[in-house]
Amino acid sequence: MVTRDVMQQRVQIPLSAESLTEERTAYLERLVRQARTAAAVFTQFTQEDVDRLVKPMVLAGLDQAQHLARLAVEETKLGVMEDKVIKNMVATEFAYNYIKDKRTVGIIREFPERNLVEMAEPIGVIFSITPITNPTSTVLFKCIMAIKTRNAVIFSPHPNAWRCCSEAVKIMYETALKHGAPEGVFACLESHTLQDNAYLMHHKDVGLIDATGGPGAVKAAYSSGKPALGVGPGNTPVYLERTADLNTAVTDIILSKTFDNGTICASEQTAVIDDEIYDLVLKKFAALGAHICNEKEVKLLARTVIDPETGFMQAAAVGQKAIDIARLAGLSVNPGTKLLIAPIQGVGREHPLSVEKLFPVLSVYRAKSVDEALKVCVDVNHAGGLGHTAVIFSRNDDVIRQFGELMNAGRILVNSPGSVGAVGGVYNDLPPTFSFGCGTGGGNSTTDNVNIYHYLNIKRVARRTQAHMWFRVPNQIYFNMNAVANVHQFASRSTIIVTNPSLEQFGHVDLVRRYIPEGTHVHVSVIPDAEPEVKVVMQGVEALNFYKADQIIALGGGSVIDAAKIMKLKYESPEADLEELAAPFLDLRKRVIEYPTEKINRVRLIAISTTSGTGSEVTPFAVLTDKERARKVTLADYSLTPDVAIVDPQFVMSMPKGLTADTGVDCLTHALEAAVSSYASAYTDCNAMQAIRMAFKYLPIAYQHPRDEEARCMMHNAACIAAMAFSNASVGVNHALAHAFGARFGVAHGRANALMLPHVIAYNASVPTKFLPSPYQKGYVAHKKYATIADLLGLGGHTIDEKVKNLVAATEQLLDQLGFPRSIADLGISKEEFERAMPDLTKLAFDDPSWRSNPRMPLISELAELFWKAYQGRGLGNMADAVRQQTA
Amino acid sequence: MAMIAVWLKVEEERVVQALQEASEKLDGIEGEVTLDLSSVRRIDPSAVRAMAEFAGMAEDKSVKVVLRGVNVDVYKVLKLVKLASRFSFVS
Ligand SMILES: NC(=O)c1ccc[n+]([C@@H]2O[C@H](COP(=O)([O-])OP(=O)(O)OC[C@H]3O[C@@H](n4cnc5c(N)ncnc54)[C@H](O)[C@@H]3O)[C@@H](O)[C@H]2O)c1
Ligand SMILES: [Fe+2]
């Protein structure tokens, strides 16, 4: 509660306390020491202990309400005794009602669904400045809040309200002490100077300054460099809109504006009244005891109550009765006049009465329209009232909302009086207070009604949350020989088969057609034998539109299936921006961009894989080649996952040896990376581990004996099973390296993976230089996972070290069996050329999202080291170094 | 010079008195004094004051003060009033 300072001396609180005598310093030090000890001792109190203290204090305050009100009026010579009694009662009883069941010790609030708990830590010593306008009520209120929150307070009351305030402190202190509060918990400065205030504001043992006072005190509080709760002045506009209940409005405003002679800074200062109700409103005001000033009276009044130099209200008028003010101004008014009403024509220095007036003078403004009324309210709000309070009387929800948006006020009160409304707990559910935060508009740190929570350090105990995990794969996966027959069960009017020329030549398309239900219109869209480009995809979308397709059958390797996934996306949601959808992300669940959910077409995607590697038939990924910018972009979203996957080995019998090896190693890499991924779960582990076993056993056979149906079938299933793992656990640094290297040197994906694989296993199995934050896992386990894999493969070894080494050796052996080059050098790339490419390679690899789930976070230097290892080539000798660092 | 160490049990209700008694014995102590606070659940401002005074006197006489069995709530109070550094603690 703030007056535009009534006492000029409060306006300039010096920042330095140098002029204090030694004796005075010793006195202040003693006060602080006592308070600090009390606060420290207070920390041992439980909630029950504290609550036992609060109630008798509240009762004592209620009991002494009238005594204190009398003292206050006698001493300050402002306000209304009866109203001050009410204020003292609100400060105690209403505050008690608000705080009595609230927890302020230990755990104060719990949010089990968020695994969060809030705990209270007291502030310690609070230095509190209290105002002349609400002297005893503010003290009572702050004492009760402080005890409830286990803090000690040193009070510095307004010099002209010192006696009543120190009496209030004494009553509260004695009651608290009697019921067990620590000695020294409250103190009131015995007479004080501005130097005392400055000294205490800067004292290292004072934790918080709670300054309810004039702007000088508030500013000094904030300038002290200490945490402060300074609350500022107001200039409350009240808008009487044409739909308002006028009787309520007029009564409420009179009540509010005359309450304690207008000393509550939230009371109405200028009433902005709609033109059509203006005359009626003034008539009603007059009927209830307001005097409507004429033009001449307005001038006389302004000259009397506003300081012409500063433009602020005169201290002498604060808290005075309307008739006394009228007499001072030389106006003749009826003896029972409660309120002086001054019509004004605008807001600002030329309209002196448009500022804050903490006495029963209300300016009124006649507004021609809602628009004009709102603008004048904005003007009043900005004329010294930012952040404080604004009031509206209206039944029009739209106008109320608009008013709420326009006013910068911590309290926007609807159809209720400003002063008593802002205090809270009487007319609304705001927390009761005698300190109105005015936010940054008023140079304050809060817009709240200052209450117990501002007297606490709230600590948040955040428990580790169980990360949400998932396992998402297509609804339907058909596998083993002749699984393609299942195509028959999917009714369609118009189907497009997307495939490659070579696959058509192999007769694979005819095989699929055989199972498409009769009567379906089938169109075959043949796309080039290359990784998909946007241009190719868009041609496919044209065909889908032309044939009004309701089903796509993607028949091919990863390239064809990925192309079909993007065709489906663009066909269903033509607005989808592929560039934007490929934006980088750290965590799939938190990423910024969203895939379209609105679809203008619906189409079923059946993916029939013809290679045993990518597993694209079950993955949510699609890789696009951007030829113009010589790069690949990966789209990732579960909406891209095909509806139906068909894993039929008869389509892979035709794969040449090289393709079998390349795609097979891709499958093995997917499974090995998913197994150690930081997103791995029991659900992905079972798939990853099984796929690894199958690949180790059947890949060499499928490679050596391409017509071996069992081996082909097992490898085809292994690719799909590995893909189920990495669709949900993602891949790792091997893919980041392979993508970068493959793109830069035009090396097939599987082959690029093969060149990196043994080095990456050794790298991941050794103690990470850097850990990547991962709420999905409880610790670094990659080395143990590799050891488990070695066990599954029956590779022997006793220690984790040995097992990892054996896994690396077995992988190298497998790669040799598959005829892969042993090093990048073997590909004919010179050392110089590779060196030149290194900055690009490491940059590309680091930008690749694949490693985000890798168990080790790769540093750029480590990526370079891995590239160089791959350049030099595999062989146990090379691995020894890395494996040696491995954890036990 | 022989070390004369003293061990005193302090009860919760008599912290101030116990410290007063202990301070009277300070003259005869060389080395250290151990105050057993294991039955003190809470301390009040007068106890804090008494402890501060006792710490001062012990320092003057170069006697080390060891507090035994201080519970963590009391320990926090001593920390807040900046007394903790003037004592040694054993459990
Ligand atoms: N979507 C995913 O989850 C995912 C995962 C990894 C890789 N990819 C992407 O998939 C693409 C690689 O896919 P891929 O390895 O399946 O190769 P691919 O689809 O590019 O096919 C390679 C070549 O083999 C031919 N081919 C396919 N099946 C054949 C068969 N049965 N017999 C003979 N020839 C056949 C193709 O016509 C093509 O010319 C890359 O673009 C890669 O980035 C996607
Ligand atoms: Fe891959």
Q: Which of A650, A666, A693 is the last residue of a domain?
A: A650
- pLDDT per position as a tens digit, A466-523: 778 889 999 999 999 999 999 999 999 999 999 999 999 999 999 999 999 999 999 9
Please check the confidence at residue A17 and state whether its pLDDT lies above 60.
no
Residues 6+ apart with CB under 8 A from A331: A291, A293, A297, A300, A301, A340
Work out whether the CA dihedral A38, A39, A45, A46 comes out positive or negative. Answer: positive
Contact residues, chain B, for A37 at CB < 8 Å:
45, 48-49, 81
- For residue A155, the SS3 value is strand
- pLDDT per position as a tens digit, A159-199: 999 999 999 999 999 999 999 999 999 999 987 788 999 99
Q: Which of A611, A663, A751 to mutate to test the pocket of ligand 1 (most atoms within 8 A of CB)?
A: A611
- pLDDT per position as a tens digit, A128-158: 999 998 999 999 999 999 999 999 999 999 9
ipTM of this complex prediction, to 2 decimal places: 0.89
Q: Does A38 touch chain B (CB under 8 A)?
A: yes
For A245, list phi and psi in degrees, rounded to 5. Answer: -80, 105
Residues 6+ apart with CB under 8 A from A489: none
The residue whose CA has the least distance to atom 22 of ligand 1 is: A557
Residue A673: give its domain's CATH number: 1.20.1090.10
Chain position carrying tokens 């694979």: A508
Residues A82 and A168 in one domain: yes
Contact residues, chain B, for A184 at CB < 8 Å:
45
Q: Which of A195, A230, A265 is the last residue of a domain?
A: A230
- pLDDT per position as a tens digit, A334-386: 999 999 999 999 999 999 999 999 999 999 999 999 999 999 999 999 999 99
- Report how far residue A717's alpha carbon sits from residue A697's, in angstroms, rounded to the nearest whole number: 13
Residue list, CB under 5 A from ion ligand 2 = A 666
Nearest to A37 among B42, B48, B74 (CB): B48
What's the 3-state SS for B23-66? HHHHHHCECEEEEECCCCCCCCHHHHHHHHHHHHHHHHCCCEEE
Residues A404 and A504 in one domain: no
Please check the confidence at residue A883 and state whether its pLDDT lies above 80.
no
- Nearest-CA neighbor of A526 among A554, A551, A548? A554
Question: Who has greater pLDDT, A557 or A231?
Answer: A557
Q: Is residue A633 part of a domain?
A: yes
A713 is catalytic: no
Longest Cα–Cα distance in chain A: 117
Domain range spanning residue A116? Answer: 24-230
Residues A124 and A34 in one domain: yes
Please tell me the total count of domains within chain A: 4
Residue A731 CA: which ligand is closest? 2
User: Do residues A759 and A880 lie in contact, with contact meaning Cβ atoms separated by under 8 Å?
Assistant: no
pLDDT value of position A865: 97
Nearest to B73 among A38, A44, A182 (CB): A44
Q: How many CB atoms within 10 Å of residue A630? A: 9
Q: Which helix (H) or strand (E) holds A870?
A: helix A860-872
Q: Is residue A106 part of a domain?
A: yes
Residues A259 and A305 in one domain: yes
Residues A641 and A660 in one domain: no
Quick one: average pLDDT of A81-109? Answer: 95
Please check the confidence at residue A888 and state whether its pLDDT lies above 70.
no
Residues A701 and A772 in one domain: yes
Residues 6+ apart with CB under 8 A from A39: A122, A123, A124, A125, A150, A151, A152, A182, A185, B80
B4-90 CATH: 3.30.750.24
Q: Which of A230, A250, A271 is the last residue of a domain?
A: A230
Residues A726 and A789 in one domain: yes
Q: Which helix (H) or strand (E) holds A633?
A: strand A631-636
Residue A213: give its domain's CATH number: 3.40.605.10
Residues A226 and A242 in one domain: no
Q: Exposed, middle or buried by CB within 10 Å (0-12, 13-18, 19+), for A514?
A: exposed
Q: What percent of chain A stands above pLDDT 70? A: 96
Q: Exposed, middle or buried by CB within 10 Å (0-12, 13-18, 19+), for A252?
A: buried
Residue A287: give its domain's CATH number: 3.40.309.10
CB-CB under 8 Å, A36 with B81? yes
Quick one: average pLDDT of A202-223? Answer: 88
- Report how far residue B16's alpha carbon sits from residue B29's, in angstroms, rounded to the nearest whole number: 19
Nearest CA in chain B to A44: B73
- Report how far residue A714's alpha carbon sits from residue A796's, in angstroms, rounded to the nearest whole number: 24
Residues A486 and A623 in one domain: yes
Q: Is residue A470 part of a domain?
A: no
Residues A243 and A208 in one domain: no
Residue A325 CB–ligand 1 contact under 6 Å: no
Q: Binning pLDDT at 50, 70 and 90, where does residue B12 land? A: confident
Nearest to B45 among A43, A124, A184 (CB): A184
Residues A245 and A196 in one domain: no
pTM: 0.81
Q: How far is the CA of A749 from the centre of ligand 2 (A)?
A: 7
Residue A560 CB–ligand 1 contact under 6 Å: yes
Residues A750 and A841 in one domain: yes
For A230, list phi and psi in degrees, rounded to 5. Answer: -95, 135
Cα A310–chain centre separation: 44
Residue A499: give its domain's CATH number: 3.40.50.1970
Q: Is residue A281 part of a domain?
A: yes
Q: Kindly list the distances between the CA atom of residue A363 and the CA atoms of A46, A59, A102, A127, A740, in Å, as whole numbers in the listed order.
A: 51, 40, 41, 37, 74
Q: Quick one: tokens of A344?
A: 């004004």
- Report how far residue A812's alpha carbon sits from residue A420's, in angstroms, rounded to the nearest whole number: 82
Please check the confidence at residue A627 and state whether its pLDDT lies above 80.
no
- Report how far residue A21's alpha carbon sits from residue A147's, in angstroms, rounded to the nearest whole number: 32
Active-site pick, A143, A165, A188, A265: A265
For A415, list phi and psi in degrees, rounded to 5. Answer: 50, 45
Of ligand 1's listed atoms, the one at least distance from the Cα of A723 is: 3
pLDDT value of position A442: 86
User: Do residues A613 and A750 lie in contact, with contact meaning Cβ atoms separated by under 8 Å?
Assistant: yes
End-to-end CA distance of chain B, in Å?
Answer: 28
Angle between helices A749-765 and A657-676 (to 10 degrees): 30
- pLDDT per position as a tens digit, A415-447: 999 999 999 988 999 999 989 999 998 888 899
Q: Exposed, middle or buried by CB within 10 Å (0-12, 13-18, 19+), for A828?
A: exposed
- For residue A79, the SS3 value is coil
Q: Is residue A488 part of a domain?
A: yes
- The minimum CA-CA distance between B12 and chain A, rounded to whole Å, is 14
